[in-house]
């Protein structure tokens, strides 16, 4: 089974493409002060790099990343995108959005479709609030087809992870997995049989997570249990058990992309067929989400509380005894800001001071991006340009050649350059446009 750090990030940028990639970061190579935040995908920057997925262990300092909004009980009816924001539009306030993401989610018949057009790397959505234990249930239909993967996971900023994943060639099985701080352990997997076809029929998938155990349930029945007591690592003198605040992430992604590692492609059932009936009929592969429900853990003392505004870390060990449930702000004023300077680029201050437009400098503010698909949703009678159906966008061409992780296959003067990470002009006005989706962090069996 593959562990995915799950898909890339979206960019709403204005202007030129930077010729170089952002600096990389790891436990042994922290980000520089001028680009202090290490994103979920192992690159340094500011702005969106400092929000959901920012790893404080790999950043310039523990307070480079913004604190994470605490858990809230909620039933997310996936019948509207009104509470969804592209990653380029979100500044850390969970009151403004329930989901933040990249790629192309669509609404069809009262459900949210996560779509993956030809030569793209799909769509990922993440909740704007975090769970520090609790339960999360998703009602969904998976994608299908070789190399196509649907995922429903919990993923923390320090890479604790609890997974449900489906490969599109096995619609009678869901794969489960867990990781502690992203450390590969290929004995953590386990499969659960599904009573009927996961593509054709809705099923309820649930993760129940406490400080002592993880339970994976399908349609209300427990399919697997993993106890913390079974995860002691005597060498490291610690529990290799997920234990830190995590976002809910849902996604469709190309395990069978031809540029992936052979082991990943084999696990996903083979290379993706970009000329399959699914692509011919609808214009994309898709997974269907009807509802997601989060129930926060109930406790009066840590770990697992949700009494304050935000979660943050006090030590690089990043275990549950280093998490604080406190009242630090989770919001930045612009995509130039960081946890070290959350008001940098504040448009209100800039206009009052009469200072030069921040659009004069390009920075690594958002890794990746996505644009409209323009194809009919399943069952729609609209034309290929989406003009009369539920699809949105400008229509697609055959520009994409599979050599890049591009969500924008419509050509144009700079198409073909959009596989890289774009620099973001800090003005980020209405003229900005969405581009690439990236994928990173794949580990395979």
Residue-wise pLDDT tens digits, 9-26: 322 222 223 446 789 999
Please say if the pLDDT value at position 388 is more than 90: no
Q: Is the dihedral angle over the CA atoms 262, 265, 266, 272 positive or is it negative?
A: negative
Catalytic status, residue 165: yes
Active-site residue (options: 89, 104, 161, 206): 161
DSSP state of 132: S
CATH class name, domain 70-296:
mainly beta
Residue owning tokens 């106890």: 227
Greater pLDDT, 8 or 91: 91
- pLDDT for residue 368: 54
The pLDDT value recorded for residue 366 is 85
Higher pLDDT, 55 or 5: 55
Query: Known catalytic residue: 360?
Result: no
Question: Across the strands, what pairs with 203?
Answer: 140
Q: Would you say the C-alpha torsion 313, 315, 320, 321 has a positive or negative sign?
A: negative
pLDDT, residue 349, reads: 78
Please give the pLDDT value at position 184. 86
The answer to whether 142 touches 166, Cβ cutoff 8 Å, is yes
103 in Cβ contact with 86 (< 8 Å):
no
Pair of tokens at residue 1 = 């089974």
Q: What pLDDT does residue 377 have?
A: 41
* Predicted confidence (pLDDT) per residue in 30-89, tens digit: 999 999 999 998 999 999 999 999 999 999 999 999 999 999 999 999 999 999 999 999
Cα separation values, 397 from 103, 310, 384, 385, 411, Å: 17, 44, 10, 10, 7
> pLDDT for 314-355, tens place per residue?
999 999 999 999 999 999 999 999 999 999 999 887 665 554
d(CA 380, CA 361) in angstroms, rounded, equals: 44
DSSP 366: -
How large a percentage of the chain has pLDDT more than 90?
A: 71
Instruction: Look at residue 407 and tell me whether its pLDDT is greater than 60.
Output: no
Query: Residue range 109-127: average pLDDT?
Result: 96
**pLDDT above 70 (res 288):** yes
Query: What's this model's pTM, rounded to 2 decimal places?
Result: 0.81
Mean pLDDT of the chain: 81
Say what the pLDDT of residue 119 is.
85
pLDDT in tens, 123-160: 999 999 999 999 999 999 999 999 999 999 999 999 99
Task: Look at residue 6 in the predicted model and tell me its pLDDT.
Answer: 33
How far apart, in whole angstroms, are the C-alpha atoms of residue 144 and residue 173? Answer: 12
84: β partners: 99
Mean pLDDT of 249-255: 97
- Choosing from 104, 165, 206, 278, the catalytic residue is 165
Q: Which of 101, 102, 108, 100 is nearest to 80 (CA)?
A: 108
Residue ranges per domain, the chain?
70-296
CB atoms within 10 A of CB 281: 12
Q: Residue 318, Cα to own-chain centre: how many angstroms? A: 20
Q: Starting from the edge strand earliest in sequence, which strands make up the sheet with 246-254, in order? A: 84-86, 99-102, 123-127, 246-254, 148-156, 161-167, 173-179, 190-193
Average pLDDT, integer, range 178-184: 94
Other CB atoms within 10 A of residue 213 CB? 14
What mean pLDDT do residues 185-211 have?
96
| Cβ partners under 8 Å of residue 341, min gap 6 | none
What's the pLDDT score for residue 20?
65
Q: What pLDDT is recorded for position 348?
A: 83
What's the confidence (pLDDT) of residue 48? 95
Tokens of 245: 């605040």
Query: Looking at the predicted structure, is the pLDDT value of residue 90 above 90?
Result: yes
Secondary structure tally for the chain: helices H, strands E: 3, 29
Q: Answer for the pair 344, 334: CB distance below 8 angstroms, yes or no.
A: yes
Beta-bridge partner residues of 77: 291
* Of 278-287, 330-339, 434-443, minimum mean pLDDT range: 434-443
Does position 112 have pLDDT exceeding 90, yes or no?
A: yes
- The pLDDT, as a whole number, for residue 371 is 31
Rounded CA-CA distance 176/151 in Å is 10
**pLDDT for the residue numbered 293:** 98
């Amino acid at each position: 089974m593959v562990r995915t750090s799950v898909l890339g990030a979206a960019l709403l940028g204005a202007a030129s493409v930077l010729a170089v990639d952002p600096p990389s970061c790891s436990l042994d190579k922290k980000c520089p002060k001028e680009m202090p935040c290490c994103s979920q995908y192992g690159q340094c920057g500011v702005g969106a790099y400092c929000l959901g997925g920012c790893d404080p262990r790999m950043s310039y300092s523990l307070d480079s990343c913004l604190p994470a909004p605490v858990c809230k009980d909620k039933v997310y009816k996936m019948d509207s995108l009104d509470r969804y924001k592209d990653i380029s539009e979100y500044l850390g306030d969970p009151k403004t959005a329930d989901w933040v993401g990249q790629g192309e989610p669509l609404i069809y018949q009262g459900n949210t479709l996560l779509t993956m057009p030809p030569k793209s790397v799909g769509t990922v959505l993440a909740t704007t609030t975090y769970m520090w234990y609790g339960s999360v249930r998703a009602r969904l239909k998976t994608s299908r087809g070789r190399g196509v993967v649907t995922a429903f996971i919990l993923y923390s900023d320090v890479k604790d992870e609890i997974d449900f994943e489906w490969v599109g060639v096995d619609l009678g099985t869901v794969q489960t997995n867990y990781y502690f701080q992203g450390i590969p352990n290929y004995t953590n997997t386990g499969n659960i049989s599904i009573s009927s076809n996961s593509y054709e029929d809705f099923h309820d998938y649930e993760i129940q997570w406490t400080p002592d155990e993880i339970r994976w349930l399908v349609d209300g029945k427990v399919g697997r249990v993993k106890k913390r007591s079974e995860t002691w690592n005597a060498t490291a003198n610690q529990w290799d058990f997920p234990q830190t605040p995590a976002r809910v992430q849902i996604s469709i992604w190309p395990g069978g992309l031809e540029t992936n590692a052979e082991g990943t492609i084999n696990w996903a059932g083979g290379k993706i067929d970009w000329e399959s009936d699914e692509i011919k009929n609808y214009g994309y592969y898709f997974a269907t989400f009807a509802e997601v429900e989060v129930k926060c853990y109930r406790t009066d003392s840590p770990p697992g509380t949700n009494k304050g505004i935000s979660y943050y870390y006090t030590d690089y060990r990043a275990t549950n005894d280093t998490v604080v449930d406190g009242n630090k702000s989770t919001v930045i004023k612009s995509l130039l800001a960081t946890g070290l300077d959350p008001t940098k680029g504040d448009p209100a201050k800039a206009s009052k001071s009469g200072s030069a437009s921040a659009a004069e400098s390009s920075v690594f503010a958002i890794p990746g991006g996505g644009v409209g698909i323009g194809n009919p949703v399943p069952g729609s009678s609209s034309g290929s340009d989406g003009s009369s159906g539920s699809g949105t966008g400008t229509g697609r061409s055959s520009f994409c050649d599979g050599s890049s992780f591009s969500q924008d296959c419509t050509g144009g003067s700079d198409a073909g350059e959009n596989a890289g990470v774009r620099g973001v002009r800090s003005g980020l006005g209405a003229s900005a446009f969405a581009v690439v989706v990236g994928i990173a962090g794949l580990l395979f069996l």
